[in-house]
Amino acid sequence: MSTPEAKLNVTHLNAGYGDKAIIRDVNIAVPANSVLAVIGPSGCGKSTFLRCLNRMHELGPGAHSEGKILLDGLDINSGDVDPVLLRRRVGMVFQRPNPFPTMSIFDNVAAGLKLNRVKGNHAEVVEKSLKQAALWDEVKDRLNASALSLSGGQQQRLCIARALAIEPEVLLMDEPASALDPIATAKVEQLIHELKARYTIVIVTHNMQQAARVSDHTAFFYMGELVEHDKTETIFTRPSKPRTEDYVTGKFG
């Protein structure tokens, strides 16, 4: 699946902490403007894989990783790539909504711009990002209110707006809806569908049905290995590997 239009191209990726390897020899390509869902049982390494894509993995104690990760052909793991600049091209949304508690809604969305000293009209960017995150109508009259005054689902969309404000090219989402109720989850999923047109999205989820609803391609990880990677429709109707079949039909454990 290594096509020239692949936005992300991972080859022989190994990563772990200390002498413990978490993921081994992962090879995968992600086409631009598509959604890749990463599924697998707990501890299979899917979060570690995700965090390698924006080099957040290396911030953990004793973390190490080897292998090539090409973003538009540029190896992000090479020595002369600044991880800080990388993270402005590859944004991340986390499992639990984590707005900055002492800042207002406006300041939260603009945080990436202000802290990175990005010049320009912040108010415009904030409005655009909140609209993209389908939150603008709900908060446009109270941009100065504390971010904590929003509900859980709104806070998560706020975090998405915050990530979008710095205009990344790739958006990584680590179980973004697992802390949300079904309606908020549906809104976030609809959002992912809309964002796909402009961004490349990689989403880790332990909810198989969510992966099925939201993604174009699905990658199944098991015990640190990428077992199968194919079109989502194929993974859920006729997977080729028996392990994938067992996981997807609930025969694990």
Return the H-helix or E-strand segment holding 30.
strand 20-31
The contact pattern for other proteins, residues 46-85, with x = CB under 8 A and - = no contact, is --------x-x--x------------------------xx
Least distance from other proteins to the Cβ atom of residue 127, Å: 16
Do 74 and 81 meet the contact criterion of CB atoms below 8 Å apart?
yes
Spell out the SS3 assignment of 172-194: EEECCCCCCCHHHHHHHHHHHHH
Looking at the Cβ atoms of 9 and 210, the one nearer to other proteins is: 210
Q: Which two tokens stand for residue 94?
A: 């986390």
Of the ranges 68-76, 125-133, 179-187, 207-215, which one interacts with other proteins (CB under 8 A)? Answer: 207-215
The contact pattern for other proteins, residues 89-128, with x = CB under 8 A and - = no contact, is --xx-x-x-xxxxxxx-xx---xx--xx------------
Looking at the Cβ atoms of 99 and 224, the one nearer to other proteins is: 99
Least distance from other proteins to the Cβ atom of residue 158, Å: 11
The backbone torsions φ and ψ at residue 35, rounded to the nearest 5 degrees and listed phi first, read -115, 125
Do 170 and 91 meet the contact criterion of CB atoms below 8 Å apart?
yes
The backbone torsions φ and ψ at residue 3, rounded to the nearest 5 degrees and listed phi first, read -100, 160
Q: Residue 93's closest CA among 187, 242, 202, 17? A: 202
Looking at the Cβ atoms of 3 and 144, the one nearer to other proteins is: 144
**Which positions lie near other proteins, rule CB under 8 A?**
54, 56, 59, 84-88, 91-92, 94, 96, 98-104, 106-107, 111-112, 115-116, 144-147, 159, 162-163, 166, 208-209, 212, 235-239, 244-246, 248-253
